[in-house]
Amino acid sequence: MSTPLFSVGQQVRIADRTPPVHHRVPAYAKGQVGVIERVCKLHGEPEKFIRGDGKPAQRLYRVRIPQSGLWQGYDGTAGDDLDIEIFEHWLEPTE
C-alpha cells in the first residue's frame, strides 16, 4: 500500500460510482480523465473514516484535468485546467 500505483504524468480516469457513504469525489469529476500532477501522502480514506477506521492507509494524488474536457462550452483558454485531490482507490489507468 505504501508504493504508489500511479506516477506523475500518468493518465488516469476517475471512477464513476456513487457509494452510499460519505466520499470526497464531487459529481463533476466522476468519469473524467486527467493526469497525475503529484503523488501525495497516505491519508485516512473517507469511506472508512465515516465507519470509524480513519487510519492513514490510502494514497492520495492530485489529478489535473483540462477545463475544456470538464464542461461543455467552457469559456476560457485551452490551457485552463483544474487540479483535484483523489484517493488511489478511485483511480483507474486509461490503458
Cell triple for residue 69?
474536457
Q: Does 94 bind another protein (CB under 8 A)?
A: no
Euclidean distance between CA atoms 92 and 25, whole angstroms: 14
Q: How far apart are CA 80 and CA 66, in angstroms?
A: 6
CB-CB contact of 74 with 46 (8 Å): no
Which of 17, 19, 38, 48 is closest to 84 using CA atoms? 38
Of 12, 36, 60, 91, the one binding another protein by CB under 8 A: 60
Give, as ranges, the residues between 19 and 38 that touch another protein (CB under 8 A): 24-26, 28-29
Regarding 46 and contact with another protein (CB under 8 A), the answer is: yes
Contact call for residue 48 and another protein (CB under 8 A): no
Q: Which residues would be at the binding site for another protein (CB under 8 A)?
A: 24-26, 28-29, 40-41, 43-44, 46, 56, 60, 62, 67, 70-71, 74-77, 79-87
